[in-house]
Chain A
């Protein structure tokens, strides 16, 4: 069963606009959430994370929002840049394990 779901396989936005990537999870034991970005032929690169005790975390152009009651998180990128074009993975961990559980990813394309 998929404990972390990214229901949009792809997203296309214009440069300068906001990109919103969504992620849902089912396991209530998850207490830490991360976003990774992956370019072709490279490993995933850590972007931003959020603990379950928070509902928002910002780092420059990237903001992650967590809605625990809905078991939903989202990554906002403002403003989007062509270099942000990549596959974005949502990941979660918890229940006393450092194991990361990943979604299938969303391919973001930012058009100039």
Chain B
């Protein structure tokens, strides 16, 4: 059973550019959530995807967008990058079923630096 994987591991962009981060969910999981972790802070919820649709969103502007694919993998897109977008971006997968939710398991993250 493979765990959650993310790519790339590190990325450097300049202000105003666009970035796409990728996540492959753990086998058997149907839900992907994205979190932003700034230095010295806990992870903050960006949004969640379930059945290829957004299933909840945190306090992030519309320039943060995402996709989920039929194989449950996911992308996080950020447009018009700002310096404050520099952070560790974490993807977590889990399973939603008729009985409820299961624990979220995290990938290693993508470290984004915006210059």
Q: Is the interface of B mostly helix, strand, loop or mixed?
A: strand
Q: Is the interface of A mostly helix, strand, loop or mixed?
A: strand
Give the chain A neighbours of B105 by CB distance below 8 A.
46
Give the chain A neighbours of B107 by CB distance below 8 A.
43
Report the contact-size class of chain B (Cβ under 8 Å from the partner): 20 to 34
Q: Across the interface, do A43 and B44 meet the contact criterion of CB distance under 8 Å?
A: no
For B58, give its contact among A41, A98, A99 (CB under 8 Å). A99
Q: Across the interface, do B103 and A34 meet the contact criterion of CB distance under 8 Å?
A: yes
B72 contacts the other chain (Cβ, under 8 Å)?
A: no
- Measured CB to CB, the residues of B under 8 A from A are 4, 6, 31, 33, 35, 40-45, 48, 55-56, 58, 90, 92, 94, 96, 101, 103-109
- Measured CB to CB, the residues of A under 8 A from B are 4, 6, 34, 36, 41-46, 49, 89, 91, 93, 97-105
